Each structure stands twice: as structure tokens, then as C-alpha cells.
Amino acid sequence: MAFTLPELPYDKGALAPYLSQETLEYHHGKHHNAYVTNLNALVEGSEFAGKSLEGIILASDGGIFNNAAQAWNHTFYWNGMKPGGGGAPTGDLAAAIDRDFGSFDNFKSEFTQAGVTQFGSGWAWLVLEGGKLKVTKTGNADLRQPVQQVALLTVDVWEHAYYIDYRNLRPKYVESFLSNLVNWEFVADSYEASR
């Protein structure tokens, strides 16, 4: 069965002014949609036809991997944001961030640093590895590299994610993502499910 573009979990204008409706129209409606469309075309008639998205990511390389991973990464990115998001996590997740980063502020600077220093296109991540929270970054389509890492949060730092709203100011975009957009309930649910 062909993959379909998942609906956004909010209206396209709901993340404004931090991410504009125009950004979501292009990023979800054009970029994310193209990964799904390309993946369907590449998988049709191949050994990957009928496989799950996760199954394809783990077993493929080249164009099929790139499009499958980007389809997965974008859905995960959308789910990690919400209107009125940002602020700070609570409960067990907040305690784990304090334990593994020293403080929430330290986590924020480490995550921002990862997003800002990813050269070219890619992603910054909060992951859980061996019971410990870590910040990491990946290039292009790559996701949590070793499969032992469970993704909890990601920010897309490809230029198409922020150029309409922030032009070349990637640090401002990542700061805005953390301060105004992160859906910490989603992150906490992923954390609880993977402990």
C-alpha cells in the first residue's frame, strides 16, 4: 500500500508567528509531500514494496533510504511542535534532563549548538541511548544513527525549514523552536514509552 502524507497535528497557520503559514504550506505541502511521493515511486515494484516505513529505513540505502528517512523525520518533527509550545518539561522527563545535562538551560544550549553547527542540511536531536539522554545531530536525511538511540525530539535545520521566516538566521530559528514551539508532552510520552 502506498504511503500517504500525514495531516499536520494543527492548522497550517497555528504556529505563527514563529513558523508562518507560508512555511508550513511549502514545508509540509511541498517538501514533505515530495519525499512521500518519491518514496512511493521508488518502492513500487521493488523488494521494499509493502514494507513498513521503519522497515525500509533499516534495510535500504541511496534514494530509497533518503526519501523514507525524510518522510519519517518530518512527521516526527511536526509532532514535536504545537501552538503555544515551548517552556520547560515537567515530571520524570524534567528530572532526567537535569540528571543528564546538569540543567534545562544546559540542555537548551547543547541542543541549540547542535542545530547551529550542523554544517549544511540536517537535523538536531534529543535521543535516549542506554537510559541516558543525549543531544546529537545528523546530516541530510540521516536519523538517530545507531538504532540503539530512541528519538525524542528533532528540529529540521535544512534551510527550507526556516528561510521564509528567519532568512539566514538559523540560531534565531532554533531558539524560537525551543522557546515557543516544542511540544514537551509529546517528548515526555516518547520518553515514558521508551524507558
What amino acid is encoded at 114 in this protein? A
Shortest CA distance to 109 belongs to which of 121, 92, 94, 97? 97
Return all residues near 131 (Cβ < 8 A) that are at least 6 apart.
195
Q: Which listed range, 12-20, 35-43, 156-164, 168-176, lies at the site for Mn ion (CB under 5 A)?
A: 156-164
The distance of closest approach from Cβ of residue 16 to Mn ion in the complex, given in angstroms and rounded to an integer, is 18
The distance of closest approach from Cβ of residue 109 to Mn ion in the complex, given in angstroms and rounded to an integer, is 24
x/- binding map, residues 4-33, to Mn ion, per CB under 5 A? ------------------------------
Reduce the DSSP state of residue 9 to 3 states and report it.
Answer: coil
Element at 133 (helix H, strand E): strand 132-139
Q: Which listed range, 98-106, 126-134, 145-153, 154-162, lies at the site for Mn ion (CB under 5 A)?
A: 154-162
The answer to whether 138 and 144 have CB atoms below 8 angstroms apart is yes
Q: Which listed range, 3-11, 134-142, 151-159, 172-180, lies at the site for Mn ion (CB under 5 A)?
A: 151-159
Which grid coordinates are listed for 146?
545507531
Q: Tell whether residue 165 is a contact of Mn ion (CB under 5 A).
A: no
Among 79, 156, 165, 170, binds Mn ion (CB under 5 A): 156
The distance of closest approach from Cβ of residue 27 to Mn ion in the complex, given in angstroms and rounded to an integer, is 6
Angle between helices 62-79 and 33-43 (to 10 degrees): 140
Nearer to Mn ion, 103 or 140 (CB): 140
Q: Whole-angstrom Cα distance, residue 56 to residue 34?
A: 17
The distance of closest approach from Cβ of residue 161 to Mn ion in the complex, given in angstroms and rounded to an integer, is 5
Q: How many residues does the chain have?
A: 195
Angle formed at CA 40 by CA 187 and CA 127, multiple of 5 degrees: 20
Nearer to Mn ion, 101 or 166 (CB): 166
Among 158, 162, 166, 173, binds Mn ion (CB under 5 A): 158
Size of the site for Mn ion (CB under 5 A): 3
x/- binding map, residues 39-68, to Mn ion, per CB under 5 A? ------------------------------
Q: Whole-angstrom Cα distance, residue 146 to residue 37?
A: 27
Given the rule CB under 5 A, which residues bind Mn ion?
156, 158, 161
